Amino acid sequence: MNQPDVLKDKTMLVTGGTGTFGHKFVEMVLTHHQPTALRIYSRGEKLQHDMSMQFDDSRLRFLIGDVRDKNRLTRAMDDVDIVVHAAALKQVPACEFNPIEAVRTNIEGAVNIIDASLDCGVQKVMAISTDKAVYPVCLYGATKMAAEKLFVHANAYAGGKDTCFSCVRYGNVIGSRGSVIPLFLQQKEKGVLTITDTRMTRFWICIDDGVGFVIKAIGMMKGGEIFVPRIPSMKVTELAEAIAPSAEKRVTGIRPGERLHETLLTEEEARRSVRMQDGFIIEPESMVRKGIHMHQGERLPDGFCYRSDLNEEWLNRKDALHMINGDGIDA
């Protein structure tokens, strides 16, 4: 039986809509769904122009604005049904050296999204998070952890309003800006790939799967959940060998704000999570304490932890190249 189109006849707004996620989200929504309108909210005039040339569709609207500007957000959300919040400063080194800017965009921007959504009566708000929000060791991760908390607990601020807030948390997107893959492809031309630590592992997801999971989560969300996809891991050394097997691999040491392995679901969160076929749902602690489970599914065992080095699913070199090439990157 075909599932109902959760985006049909909806007016949507995507913050950071000209980024990697935004491009693919627009492509998939316009191709496979029937929204009334899709508003792209971002700061870059040139990127918006390029995107408007790429997607010639009357349902698209382009709005210049910054998530730091609540007044502009409120105007942009007028008559919007669904907000997907993907805008962020996400480059780890840039956030480390520009910490106040990271806080203003990733944390204060989240507050503005919440306030504007409540003021405008938006039905659903889905925020895009990252594995770096779990046990954060860098400022970027710390700001995304704070943003997650804000969106989960924003449901209490909604009171009797219909607005609900949830998050999707996933790992590294293959080919996205800031990913190590474009760096490796660039370094391949010079014959030397830099690896910070040979033990390092990461979760990987292709952008199509990431967008598809977000759309599914929008249909399932009731407010306060964090949705986590089940995705494969890979050692960074294996990724380097897949992309440039004949190149020299030079170990440079871990950078500030970097860690060996990533976690998508902690032991503490597992006690209030359910397993679905393609992921996990972390239910809000406030509901679980009352004995209320929002979703049906298999409860996770004590001690369960979803970490990149403990994953049951791993990418081999062939699969990794297939995923990279599937995103249009010539490896």
Catalytic center residues: 132
DSSP 162: S
The helix/strand/coil state of 34 is: coil
**Paired strand residues for 243:** none
The DSSP line for 31-84 is: HH---SEEEEEES-HHHHHHHHHH---TTEEEEE--TT-HHHHHHHTTT-SEEE
Q: Which residues pair with 282 in a beta bridge?
A: 226, 273
Cβ contact 54:94 at 8 Å: no
CA distance 5 to 308: 33
Q: Which tokens in the block code for residue 322?
A: 């297939």
Token pair in block for residue 217: 């989560």
Parallel, antiparallel or unpaired: strands 279-282 and 233-235? unpaired
Count of beta carbons in the 10 Å neighbourhood of residue 304: 17
Nearest CA to 21 out of 245, 248, 212, 294 is that of 212
Cα(131)–Cα(222) distance, integer angstroms? 22
Cα gap 268→286, rounded to integer Å: 14
Closest C-alpha to 283, from 229, 239, 221, 233: 221
Side by side, which strands form the sheet with 164-170?
A: 60-64, 37-42, 11-15, 82-85, 124-130, 164-170, 226-229, 279-282, 273-276, 298-299
Residue 60: φ, ψ to 5°? -85, 140
Given the structure tokens 């359910």, which residue do they identify?
274
CA–CA separation, 298 and 179 (whole Å): 33
